[in-house]
Every structure is written in structure tokens, then in C-alpha cells.
């Protein structure tokens, strides 16, 4: 074999070893305990072992088993042999002039995905992706022009946060900052989270767990385009806050902007929200409303919007449209947005205008997209170790 072939064989062997190991990130404490027991760890030690490993990984950000120094040498070797701490690798990082950071990430699974960190004076928000591409194609959204490649797995949901915390050195050892830089999470990146419910839930469970990344459920907001059958599950099974991408006040316009509306109409969506479990004034539902010039920004729209949300503890986020290459809409003027927002405010609804962040690096709402495509059936690229972008 020549050098190149040797190297290829080496790489293949490495990735196969990696693929055979159990991925530690994304495993719940119970799932990790089960794996340890199956592999021969004594049951009486398991609960302590799980806590120790979680503390290294999620509190200290330590990914090298050899450095987990309060574990016995034998146990570290055992972990090394059976588990991988694989998490997304940063392929590319861009920093906007407003400080927003956009990352292109990949794992050993197919495809690449983007995630964003938005720093503010009082918080630092990670905008997580839930899928590569999207099955829906909202006409104003850049992600919607990328066909679904695949769902992200729990280790990739948690891994997005870990990769960012690494990049920011946001671990407890780093006493430079007295507070955590990553304080909030929005699931508003690529994809529709309620079409990947179980993986998103399992990832968020670890992010919220007090021995995991320990972010309060009230600092996490999941945004959906309106997958009605899964909306109540957000309150009942995840417990984080909910945002709804409404964007229109009539079915005719919403069918055009958010085509999932043809499946679940505005009436069905609002009914499900009126019956949403745990509704209280301290846990309002956020309605997202992208402001598109001459499409959905009339004052009649504002009045209809007030009627639609009546009876729901709500906050309405007005999002100036963020253009992307090839988009066919124009943003509403700031004057129109102000008039629109005044009507909502007079009716008693908080209606902040979302400040676009990271626009210069296409990191703002609805601008994310990667070049990954879904491999054709029977193609060489079906090999999970093969990464295309």
C-alpha cells in the first residue's frame, strides 16, 4: 500500500473504533447507568460513578477520560475502551461586528449544521438547531430552502452547547467571568424541533438537569411553526417555554408563508394554545411575527392579531424580516413596525421588536443554512462515516 492508502486505512480503522464505542454525551443518567451495569460495573457503585462522570463532562467540560482524576485508573481505562465523548467539531467560526458568533459544526454522522451564540449585557443566548435542513418550507426562511438531511441526535443537541462553552471557555474553572456566559437557550436554529421531539427532549433534559448543564427551564424557549399534535407535549414532557411562529392573521396569508398551516389552520393552532397546560402570566407564550412589507404588516393585521391572542397570556415578538440571497420579500419600514406595535401595546400586549443580530454573517433569525444534502439511497455516501458538505 502507498502512503495515501495507509492513511486512508488508518482513518477508517479509527472511525470504526469510534463508531463501536457508546456515545456518552446525550445519554441520560439512567441510560449511562444501564450501560455501565451491562458492561460489568458493580451495581452498588453505579450511581456514584454516573454522578462523577457527569460532573467531569458537564460541570468541568472535561472530555479526556485520562484527566478525570478522582476516578480509579482502572475505571478510566474501562471508560476509554467502551465510551466516546464525541461531540460536534467546529468546522468554521464567524464573528459578527456585534459580537454574535456563528459556528458550522459536524460530527461523525452525515451533514453539517449551524449554531449561534448571541451575547447581550444581561445574558448570553445559544440558538440551537434541531435538524439539518427542514421538511417545511416557509417562504421567507433560508433554512426552508434546504431539504431535510436528517434529525440531530441528543448528543448533537447537548454538543452544540458544549462546543460553544469550549470556544468561550465558559467552564467553572475559568474564574475570569464571575457568571456563566451561556445563560439562555432558544431552539430557533435550523429545523422544526417538534418534528424531532424525542431527540430534542432528551437533549434538553440533560441541558436542564441540575447535574447536567443546569440551565433553568425558564431560560429555554422552544419555537415551533405550529405542529399542533406535539404542542402540549412541550409543557407536559419538556417544561421549557414555548414560542409560536404565527406570522399571519388569516389562513390565506399563513398558507402562503407557513405552509404547515394547510395541515393545522390558525383556528386549530389557537384552540390548542388556549388549552395549553400551565398557562400563567409568568409563563407567557411568545408569538413570533415576521414583518413583511405589504404582506402581513397592515394595521388591520395588527387588530386581527389582538383578537386572535385574546385570552392567552402572550407576548408578541415582532421580527423585522432578515433577507438572504434569493429571498423574495422586503422588510416592513420601521415606521410601519412602530404603528403595528402601538396597536398591540394599546391592547395590553408587550410587543418588543427583535433586534437582528449577526446579520453581516447570515446568523440572524431564518438565515441559517448549510450546504449539506441528503445522500441518495444506495450511494457510497450512505456510509455513516462519510461526511458530505
Task: Using CB under 6 A, list all residues that contact ligand SAH.
Answer: 138, 140-141, 188, 192, 223-225, 245, 288, 290, 319, 321-322, 365-366
- Contact between 281 and 274 under an 8 Å Cβ cutoff? The reply is no
CB under 8 Å, gap of 24 or more: what pairs does 31-35 form? 35/82, 35/83
Instruction: Give yes or no for a contact between 318 and 352, defined as CB atoms under 8 angstroms apart.
Output: yes
| Interaction partner, residue 196 (ligand SF4, ligand SAH, none; CB < 5-8 Å by kind) | none
Q: Containing H/E element for 173? A: none
* Residues linked to residue 101 through DSSP beta bridges, in sequence order: 95, 117
Least Å distance between CB 178 and ligand SF4?
Answer: 36
Query: Which residue of the chain is nearest ligand SF4 when measured via CB?
Result: 144
240 is catalytic: no
CA distance linking residue 85 with residue 56, whole number of Å: 11
Listed in sequence order, the residues at least 6 apart from 99 whose beta carbon sits closer than 8 Å to its beta carbon are 119
Binding partner of residue 139 among ligand SF4, ligand SAH, none, CB cut-off 5 to 8 Å per kind: none
Minimum CB separation of residue 259 from ligand SF4 in Å reads: 8
Q: Which is nearer to ligand SAH, 32 or 188 (CB)?
A: 188
Q: Is 192 designated active site?
A: no
Q: Residue 257 touches which of ligand SAH, ligand SF4, none (CB < 5 to 8 A by kind)?
A: none
Residue 162 CB, shortest distance to ligand SAH, in Å, is 21
Q: What would the grid cell of residue 264 be?
A: 393545522
CB of residue 367 to ligand SF4, shortest distance in Å: 10
- From the list ligand SF4, ligand SAH, none, which binds 83 (C-beta under 5 to 8 Å, kind-based)? none
Distance set, CA 374 to CA 34, 309, 341, 360, 381 (Å): 33, 39, 41, 28, 9
Query: Shortest distance, CB of residue 224 to ligand SF4, whole angstroms?
Result: 8
Residue nearest to ligand SAH (CB): 366
Nearer to ligand SAH, 308 or 319 (CB): 319
Give whichever of 65 and 289 is closer to ligand SAH, judged by the CB atom. Answer: 289
Contact partners, residue 67, CB within 8 Å, separation at least 6: 56
Query: What is the grid cell recorded at 325?
Result: 440571497
Closest approach, Cβ 130 to ligand SAH, in A, equals 8
Residue 208's CB is within 10 A of a number of other CB atoms, namely 20
CB closer to ligand SF4, 83 vs 113: 113
Q: Choose the contact partner of 188 out of ligand SF4, ligand SAH, none; CB within 5 to 8 A by kind.
A: ligand SAH
Residues that bind ligand SF4 (CB under 6 A): 134, 136-138, 141, 143-144, 191-192, 225, 245, 366
Q: Residue 288 binds which entry of ligand SAH, ligand SF4, none, with Cβ cut-offs from 5 to 8 Å by kind?
A: ligand SAH
- DSSP assignment of 229-267 equals HHHHHIIIII--EEEEE---SSHHHHHHHSGGGGTS-HH
**CB-nearer residue toward ligand SAH: 26 or 331:** 331
| Closer of 150 and 165 to ligand SF4 (Cβ) | 150
Which is the catalytic residue, given 62, 86, 114, 156? 114
Residues 6+ apart with CB under 8 A from 6: none
Residues ≥6 apart with Cβ < 8 Å to 223: 186, 187, 188, 193, 243, 244, 245, 286, 288
Count other Cβ atoms within 10 Å, centred on residue 220: 21
Residue 140 CB, shortest distance to ligand SF4, in Å, is 8
Q: What are phi and psi of 282, to 5 degrees?
A: -80, -15
Confirm if 316 and 309 have CB atoms less than 8 A apart. yes
| 104 or 138: CB nearest ligand SAH | 138
Q: Which residues are catalytic?
A: 114, 365
Amino acid at each position: 500500500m502507498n502512503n495515501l492508502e495507509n492513511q486512508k486505512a488508518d482513518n477508517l480503522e479509527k472511525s470504526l473504533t469510534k463508531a463501536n464505542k457508546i456515545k456518552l454525551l446525550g445519554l441520560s443518567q439512567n441510560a449511562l447507568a444501564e450501560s455501565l451495569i451491562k458492561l460489568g460495573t458493580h451495581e452498588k457503585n453505579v450511581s456514584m460513578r454516573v454522578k462523577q462522570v457527569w460532573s467531569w463532562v458537564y460541570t468541568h467540560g472535561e472530555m479526556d477520560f485520562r484527566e478525570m482524576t478522582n476516578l480509579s485508573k482502572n475505571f478510566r481505562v474501562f471508560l476509554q475502551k467502551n465510551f466516546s465523548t464525541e461531540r460536534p467539531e467546529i468546522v468554521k467560526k464567524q464573528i459578527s461586528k456585534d459580537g454574535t458568533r456563528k459556528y458550522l459544526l459536524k460530527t461523525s454522522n452525515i451533514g453539517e449544521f449551524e449554531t449561534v451564540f448571541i451575547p447581550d449585557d444581561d445574558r448570553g443566548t445559544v440558538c440551537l438547531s434541531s435538524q439539518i435542513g427542514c421538511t417545511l418550507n416557509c417562504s421567507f426562511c433560508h433554512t426552508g430552502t434546504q431539504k431535510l438531511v436528517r434529525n440531530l441526535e441528543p448528543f448533537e443537541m447537548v454538543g452544540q452547547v458544549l462546543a460553544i462553552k469550549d470556544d468561550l471557555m465558559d467552564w467553572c474553572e475559568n474564574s475570569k467571568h464571575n457568571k456563566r456566559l451561556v445563560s439562555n437557550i432558544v431552539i430557533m436554529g435550523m429545523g422544526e424541533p417538534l418534528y424531532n421531539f424525542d431527540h430534542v427532549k432528551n437533549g434538553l433534559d440533560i441541558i436542564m438537569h441540575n447535574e447536567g448543564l443546569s440551565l433553568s427551564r425558564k431560560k429555554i424557549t422552544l419555537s415551533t411553526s405550529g405542529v399542533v399534535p406535539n404542542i402540549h407535549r412541550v409543557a407536559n414532557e419538556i417544561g421549557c417555554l414555548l414560542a409560536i411562529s404565527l406570522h399571519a392573521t388569516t389562513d390565506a396569508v399563513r398558507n402562503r408563508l407557513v405552509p404547515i398551516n394547510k395541515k393545522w389552520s390558525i383556528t386549530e393552532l389557537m384552540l390548542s394554545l388556549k388549552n395549553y397546560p400551565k398557562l400563567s402570566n409568568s409563563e407567557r407564550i411568545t408569538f413570533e411575527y415576521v414583518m413583511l412589507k405589504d404582506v402581513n404588516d397592515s394595521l388591520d393585521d395588527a387588530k386581527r392579531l389582538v383578537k386572535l391572542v385574546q385570552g392567552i397570556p402572550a407576548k408578541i415578538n415582532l421580527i423585522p424580516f432578515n433577507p438572504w440571497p434569493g429571498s423574495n420579500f422586503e422588510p416592513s419600514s420601521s415606521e410601519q413596525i412602530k404603528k403595528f406595535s402601538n396597536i398591540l401595546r394599546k391592547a395590553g400586549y408587550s410587543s418588543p421588536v427583535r433586534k437582528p443580530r449577526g446579520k453581516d454573517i447570515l446568523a440572524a433569525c431564518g438565515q441559517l443554512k448549510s450546504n449539506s444534502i441528503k445522500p441518495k439511497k444506495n450511494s457510497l455516501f450512505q456510509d455513516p462515516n462519510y461526511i458530505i458538505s
